[in-house]
Chains A and B, each alone.
Chain A
Amino acid sequence: MTPALATALGLAFVVLGELVLHASWPTYLGVGLCAVGATTRLARHRDALSFAHLGLLAALGLHGLSTERGLDLLGLAPGHLGERILGLAAPAALLLAGLATAFGERVAFVLRSVDAHDASVNARVRDAIYRGLSLGLALVFVVSLDVAARARDVRVDLSFLRVTEPSETSQRLVRALDGDVRAVLFYPEGHEVAARVRPYFDTLADASSHLKVERLDHALAPELAERLHVTSNGFLVLFEGEGEAIRSESVELGLDLASARPRLRTLDGRFQEAFARLTQPRREIALTVGHGERSHGGAEVDPAERLDRFVVALRRANIQVTTLGLAQGLAQEVPRGTPLVAVLGARDPFAPEEVETLLRFVHGGGRLLVLVDHEAEGGADALLAGLGLRLRPGVLASETSVVARDRDLSDRARVFASRFSDHPVVISARADAGRSAVVLHRGAALEEAPTEGVEVVFPVRTEENVWRDLDGDLTRDDDEPLETQRMLAAVTVRAPRASRVGRAVVIADGSFAGDDLLGYRGNFRVLGDALGWLLGDLGDDRPAIVGATTSEEDVPVEHAPEDERLWLWLGSLGVPLPLGIAGVVVALRRRRRRREGDA
């Protein structure tokens, strides 16, 4: 067996033992074969290649010392400086000696027919060994720098990871505090996630002296962490009270910036939810069911009409959503203690007994929110009549007061209204006048049907460029005059025997609280204030019931309609096409030049 073959086989056994089988016998066999290769080579020639083989053997020995057994032999405890030096030196020595031997053996193999004692052969083998060493050193340099760069890494996030500013809603929540609340960020000092969220909480702390913000390391505050049931760093904990009376809400933010990214993008909403749970009274809203009402989750066929956004906003305000159907007594009596009932876009008619129950509830001082479609099958008429209202026939349409979405005729039924009165139901929208408008999609107009003891106010109106489309063609005909339309009514019911006035808000669009329309700031504000007015919880010093949040949350890419798709295809293929043509021009020119040259 030649020394080269013995060494190659030996290294293969070492790799097999160390990396594949995790057994010691192949390693010992491998080292033995390498020793045979080196001594055989040394016995025949005392040249540079022999020393490369010896170097490889020594590197294997160094590797052996860096293993657990070797460290035991040297008496080095885990974590000792010597262990770390050996851990770095052994692979570097193996790499250097391995490459030097391989390069030298390769040249020796190529020149095997020439006399091995020839000085020029020796010189070329030596040069090859130096080249191997040089490459090995370059590799060691590269790997060392890479390891050092990873150990002292710097990371800058340039994606959409800006921790949001606190929204006006969050700041109002904090301003409304009348007792002390502490916000503790459980993070080690100088942690990158804590550094990103700190400005958010500093801004909130500026809004009220009752909010105290601090950062604590979980390991350095074990008692507080235990009382707040925090098991590790990476949490925001909001708490109030002391000792046994302590109440807390925690929000997990995460320790790793990459995994914390989605949470940080929606920090404002998460903070609002936790903060409201801690500081706001728990309230309830009962949604009627069983009449094809708009719903949340996957039950709603049209995603635009789902109530997901609305339900999330309610949860953030610590408002619990319950259901009210026949099983819960809708045909007899609204359960006692229900502060607010909502009819959100029923598509099927209510039974007369159910209408009676709802009206009795309002006349007894209850609060009712009704979103109604003109396309609903007439079942809302009796309910509206009891509230002093009726729906005017036709869909609201306009050529100018519209919000374009599909850029076709159907957009004419997407009408906005931006004329607000000073009623509390539109107080936020009015304050934001010019930027906020109420948008309806296939909405209808309301008119008063005078009823005793019922007072109706219409706080939102459109411009005088909206007609009621009676024939469904969304084109204005002679019998469809342009008028100011009223689509929202605030109803006050004064019953002689009730301890408080009943209130109702009626909006003539069943999908008003759906995800699509709730995306408009005006709708969000009006719905929030309507809930506030109904629950009797409005005022500049009070937090909004349903408020907006700031978010850097990502937006799903909407799939374009066919005409836009064509534009996208043209846009993306527009560059390769001219390049391909340029290639053809270059090819033709070349051919012409070649022909001219031949001629």
Chain B
Amino acid sequence: MKTLWQIAARDFTAWFRSPIGWWLAALVLCLDALQLHAVAIGTERRPSAAVLELFLLNAAVLTEVLVAFVALRLPIDEGHEAGALLLTSPVGEGSLVLGRFLGAFGYVAVVTLLSLHLPALILVNGKISFGHVATGYLGLLLVGAGGLAIASAAAAIARRPFGAALTTAGVLAGLELAHRLASIADLEHRPILRAIAPVFGRFTSFRQGLFQLSDVVFFVLLTYLGLRVATRALAGRREA
């Protein structure tokens, strides 16, 4: 357990020891602010809850983009000294995967929570519920966790940074695309296709201010599955 937290803390602080971590956070928050003003508030006279909903939807998409960038740092490269050391260290695959996941998730969570002042700006000329904001941000954190678990699996399988990022982006895009495909699919398959899309499907309740247990369970299960695949893939690499 101690090793797990050490790995998590090392990975988390690594984001702030590098200028990329700060700039990536600044870029995402800047895009969040821009989308709030240009898209969510826009020029129309939208109700406050609709503005908040639109902001949360765009923020969730940006979280997935952030996750794809974070995936660049997740692979353990045996070509590098540090990567080889990690792979050959007497640390279990589970601890290794979970530690790295927690480190990355800490970074994504910090960036996400730093944007909390943006929905508060809606209060200047509108009216929002704090419960709605809280539910939306819980959803954003869960989207981040689910996406990072997929990124962990992609990193364990693809091994190279760009491969991991591309695989993560591809899987997330595929899952989101399933929601669009649902409209042209057979009636019986539509609910299934809609149910596997993280942002356009399962995040809907969060952005509407609804705490829906089944959607929380979905993201927890997605995270579990991603981490399990990552652990198995890493075990396979070590055995090889």
Interface residues of A (CB under 8 A from B): 19, 127, 131, 134-135, 138-139, 142, 145-146, 149-150, 153-161, 258, 554-560, 564, 568-569, 571-577, 579-580, 582-584, 586-587, 590
B47: contacting residue among A149, A554, A576, CB under 8 A: A554
Listed by A's residue number, 25 A-B pairs whose Cβ atoms lie within 8 Å are A131-B232, A131-B236, A138-B224, A142-B221, A142-B225, A145-B217, A155-B205, A158-B132, A158-B134, A161-B209, A554-B48, A555-B47, A557-B47, A557-B51, A564-B125, A572-B33, A572-B37, A572-B117, A573-B30, A574-B117, A575-B33, A580-B22, A583-B20, A586-B16, A586-B22
Tell me if A138 and B121 are in contact (CB < 8 A).
Answer: no
- How far is it, in angstroms, between the C-alpha of A590 and the C-alpha of B151 when the chains are bound? 28
Tell me if B195 and A146 are in contact (CB < 8 A).
Answer: yes
- How far is it, in angstroms, between the C-alpha of A560 and the C-alpha of B125 when the chains are bound? 7
B228 to chain A, nearest CB (A): 5
B63 to chain A, nearest CB (A): 16
Interface residues of B (CB under 8 A from A): 16-23, 25-27, 29-30, 33, 36-37, 41, 43, 45-51, 114-115, 117-118, 121-122, 124-129, 131-132, 134-135, 186, 189, 195, 205, 208-214, 217-218, 221-222, 224-225, 228-229, 232, 236, 239
Closest residue of chain A to B125 (Cβ to Cβ) is A558
Chain B residues within 8 Å of A157, by CB: 209-211
Tell me if A576 and B228 are in contact (CB < 8 A).
Answer: no
Closest residue of chain A to B205 (Cβ to Cβ) is A155
- How far is it, in angstroms, between the C-alpha of A127 and the C-alpha of B229 when the chains are bound? 15
Tell me if A153 and B213 are in contact (CB < 8 A).
Answer: yes
Chain A residues within 8 Å of B25, by CB: 576, 579
Tell me if A556 and B126 are in contact (CB < 8 A).
Answer: yes
- How far is it, in angstroms, between the C-alpha of A571 and the C-alpha of B239 when the chains are bound? 53
- How far is it, in angstroms, between the C-alpha of A317 and the C-alpha of B115 when the chains are bound? 46
Having A159-B49, A554-B49, one finds 13 other A-B pairs with CB under 8 Å, namely: A134-B232, A157-B211, A159-B131, A159-B135, A557-B41, A560-B125, A576-B25, A579-B23, A580-B23, A583-B20, A584-B19, A590-B18, A590-B19
Closest residue of chain A to B47 (Cβ to Cβ) is A554
Tell me if A573 and B33 are in contact (CB < 8 A).
Answer: yes
Closest residue of chain A to B126 (Cβ to Cβ) is A557
Question: Shortest 4 CB-CB distances between A and B: which pairs?
Answer: A159-B209, A158-B131, A583-B22, A572-B33
Tell me if B124 and A149 are in contact (CB < 8 A).
Answer: no
Tell me if A580 and B26 are in contact (CB < 8 A).
Answer: yes
Chain B residues within 8 Å of A577, by CB: 26
Chain A residues within 8 Å of B211, by CB: 155-158
- How far is it, in angstroms, between the C-alpha of A153 and the C-alpha of B195 when the chains are bound? 14
Closest residue of chain A to B129 (Cβ to Cβ) is A160
Tell me if A576 and B30 are in contact (CB < 8 A).
Answer: yes
Chain B residues within 8 Å of A572, by CB: 33, 36-37, 117-118, 121
A575: contacting residue among B117, B132, B217, B225, CB under 8 A: B117
Closest residue of chain B to A151 (Cβ to Cβ) is B214
- How far is it, in angstroms, between the C-alpha of A556 and the C-alpha of B127 when the chains are bound? 8
Chain B residues within 8 Å of A135, by CB: 228-229, 232
Chain A residues within 8 Å of B239, by CB: 127
Tell me if B49 and A575 are in contact (CB < 8 A).
Answer: no
A257 to chain B, nearest CB (A): 8
A193 to chain B, nearest CB (A): 14
Chain A residues within 8 Å of B36, by CB: 572
Closest residue of chain B to A157 (Cβ to Cβ) is B210
Tell me if A557 and B48 are in contact (CB < 8 A).
Answer: yes
Chain B residues within 8 Å of A558, by CB: 45, 125-126
Tell me if A560 and B208 are in contact (CB < 8 A).
Answer: no
Chain A residues within 8 Å of B132, by CB: 158-160
- How far is it, in angstroms, between the C-alpha of A535 and the C-alpha of B23 when the chains are bound? 69
B108 to chain A, nearest CB (A): 14
- How far is it, in angstroms, between the C-alpha of A568 and the C-alpha of B37 when the chains are bound? 9
Closest residue of chain B to A154 (Cβ to Cβ) is B213
A536 to chain B, nearest CB (A): 39
- How far is it, in angstroms, between the C-alpha of A166 and the C-alpha of B21 when the chains are bound? 52
Tell me if A155 and B212 are in contact (CB < 8 A).
Answer: yes
Tell me if B37 and A569 are in contact (CB < 8 A).
Answer: yes
